[in-house]
Amino acid sequence: MIGRNDPCWCGSQKKWKKCHWPDKGTEKEDLAAKYLRDYEIILKTPEQIEGIERACQLAAHILNELCLAAKEGVTTNELDLLSQKLHKEAGALAAPLGYGSPPFPKTICTSLNEVICHGIPNDIPLKEGDILNIDVSCILGGYFGDCSRMVTIGKISAEQQRVCDATHACLHASIEILKPGVLIKEIGDVIERVAKERGCSVVDQFVGHGVGLAFHEAPQVPHCHNRISIPLVPGMTFTIEPMINACVREGVIDKSNQWEARTKDGKPSAQEEHTILITDSGYKILTNL
Ligand code: MF3
Ligand code: CO
């Protein structure tokens, strides 16, 4: 009789208990069924994870190219054109284009200075002293990847630097705690703590999100204090994308385009985003190059 620690019958060279051991498969399927039923969260299969990782790697690559191209004198419409080209060359689609209602008009979000998120590319050239978030979400082979980061143009103010640094610190401090069993709400607790230490506020109007088979899946991942007590489990893929403000947390959505959110006080805002996979032992940042 085959024992738990014997090589699996399928020839994988793995131990039976790590491979086709019946209880393990059933446990995994039970958990996936439970997460879908209780929280509408899709736990991804290894095959789906491969596809999502490919989409994430492409998003990270396109984001990197756009950040390198974002220089003084370049317009965000020119960055959008480059984004169109890079998506096309890779055989991918840009998830933002035509998304939502009214349909988002461009392939990337470019959120400048006091714009919190969902900035629409335009014909205004970047200038010294600007801080810009570029957000890339792509669809490759039916799978989704989503990431964003800040670029700074020339010399920026101490206040702008403080918000950009705080945003980076918030995202990475919240990623470092991730592993199975951690509750969703602990992510917001870390972000709020780090932002406060740096004299910044956390936007509560927009959230991170499950991602992978669709652009926005369950669960919501708030960046501020919240009560979502769902434990993280392996196979979850979601974004963390804190928006951090220099002063007040409140934002106002543009009346004419209904997308762009600006800080209520006109002070700077920054954002950074990664797509994360929860693994058996911790996490993997899928949008790291
Ligand atoms: N990372 C952003 C999000 O998840 C990207 C927004 S694209 C837009 O919401 F089309 F919705 F604006
Ligand atoms: Co996102």
99 lines ligand 1 (CB under 6 A): yes
Both tokens of residue 93? 């689609």
According to the model, what pLDDT value does residue 17 have?
85
pLDDT at 262: 99
86 in any annotated domain = yes
Q: What's the pLDDT band for 132 if we cut at 50, 70, 90?
A: very high
**How much is the average pLDDT of 56-81?**
99
Residues 190, 136, 207, 175, Cα dihedral to 10° = -20
Residue 2's pLDDT is 78
**Both tokens of residue 256?**
């004419």
* pLDDT band, very low/low/confident/very high, at 164 (cuts 50, 70, 90): very high
Q: Is the CB of 273 under 6 A from ligand 1?
A: yes
Q: What is the pLDDT of residue 277?
A: 98
Domain assignment present for 5: no
Q: Is the CB of 104 under 6 A from ligand 1?
A: yes
Select from 97, 106, 137, 287 the residue to mutate for testing ligand 1; criterion: most ligand atoms less than 8 Å from CB: 137
3-state helix, strand, coil split of the chain in percent (to 5) is 30, 25, 45
Domain span at 110: 17-285
Give me the phi and psi of 192, to 5 degrees please.
-60, -40
Atom 7 in ligand 1: which residue has the minimum CA distance?
96
Q: 3-class DSSP state for residue 69?
A: helix
Name the domain count of the chain.
Answer: 1
CATH code for position 186: 3.90.230.10
Amino acid 16: pLDDT: 85
Does 3 reside within a domain? no
CA nearest to 157, candidates 254, 268, 289: 268
Cβ contacts of residue 70 below 8 Å, gap of 6+?
A: 79, 126, 132, 134, 151, 153
The pick from 118, 260, 276 for probing ligand 1's pocket by mutation, whose C-beta has the most ligand atoms within 8 angstroms, reads 118
Tell me the three-class secondary structure of 202-255, residue by residue. ECCCCCEEECCCCCCEEEEECCCCCCCCCECCCCCEEEECCEEECCCCCEEECC
Q: Identify the pLDDT of residue 85.
A: 99
Q: Is the peptide bond before 102 cis (omega within 30 degrees of 0)?
A: yes
Task: Report the pLDDT value the prediction gives residue 20, as an integer from 0 to 100.
Answer: 80
Q: If you measure from the C-alpha of residue 135 to the centroid of ligand 2, how many angstroms do you get, rounded to a whole number?
A: 8
- What's the pLDDT tens digit per position in 274-288? 999 999 999 999 999
Whole-number percent of the chain with pLDDT over 70? 100
Our CA angle for 186, 188, 194, nearest 5°, is: 105
Measured in Å, residue 264 CA sits from the centre of ligand 2 at 22
Best CA proximity match to 142, nearest among 52, 58, 63: 52
Q: Which residues contact 90 (CB under 8 A, 6 or more apart)?
A: 58, 62, 138, 140
Query: From the CA of 176, how far away is ligand 1's center (Å)?
Result: 24
Ligand 2 centre to CA of 24 (Å) is 32
Rounded average pLDDT over 140-152: 99
CA of 238 from ligand 2 middle (Å) equals 9
User: Is the Cβ atom of 135 under 6 angstroms away from ligand 1?
Assistant: yes
pLDDT score of 93 = 98
**For residue range 209-268, what is the model confidence (pLDDT) as tens digits?**
999 999 999 999 999 999 999 999 999 999 999 999 999 999 999 999 999 999 999 999
In a domain, residue 8? The reply is no
* Any domain includes 267: yes
Nearby residues of 272 by Cβ (< 8 Å), 6 or more positions away = 133, 148, 149, 150, 167, 168, 170, 171, 241, 242
Residue 247 located in a structural domain: yes
Q: Are the C-beta atoms of residues 97 and 115 closer than 8 Å to each other?
A: no
Residue 11 is predicted with a pLDDT of: 84
Query: Which atom of ligand 1 lies closest to the CA of 99?
Result: 10
% residues pLDDT > 90 (the chain): 91
Average pLDDT across the chain, whole number = 97
Which amino acid does the sequence have at 163?
Answer: V
* Residue 137 Cβ < 6 Å to ligand 1: yes
Query: Distance, CA 94 to ligand 1 centroid (Å)?
Result: 11
Q: Is the CB of 136 under 6 A from ligand 1?
A: no
Question: Strand 131-140 vs strand 237-240: parallel, antiparallel, or unpaired?
Answer: unpaired
Is 7 a domain residue? no
Residues 203, 251: Cα–Cα separation, whole Å:
8
Report the nearest atom of ligand 1 relative to the CA of 146: 1
Please give the structure tokens belonging to residue 33.
């069924």
Atom of ligand 1 nearest to the CA of 208: 4
Q: For ligand 1, is residue 96 a contact (CB within 6 Å)?
A: yes
Instruction: Summarize pLDDT for 93-111 with one digit per residue, the tens.
Output: 999 999 999 999 999 999 9
C-alpha pair distances (Å), 117 with each of 28, 41, 205, 264: 37, 25, 10, 13
- Whether 113 is in a domain gets the answer yes
When pLDDT is averaged across residues 115-137 and rounded to a whole number, the result is: 99
pLDDT, one tens digit per residue, over 4-49 is 899 888 888 899 888 887 777 788 889 999 999 999 999 999 999 9
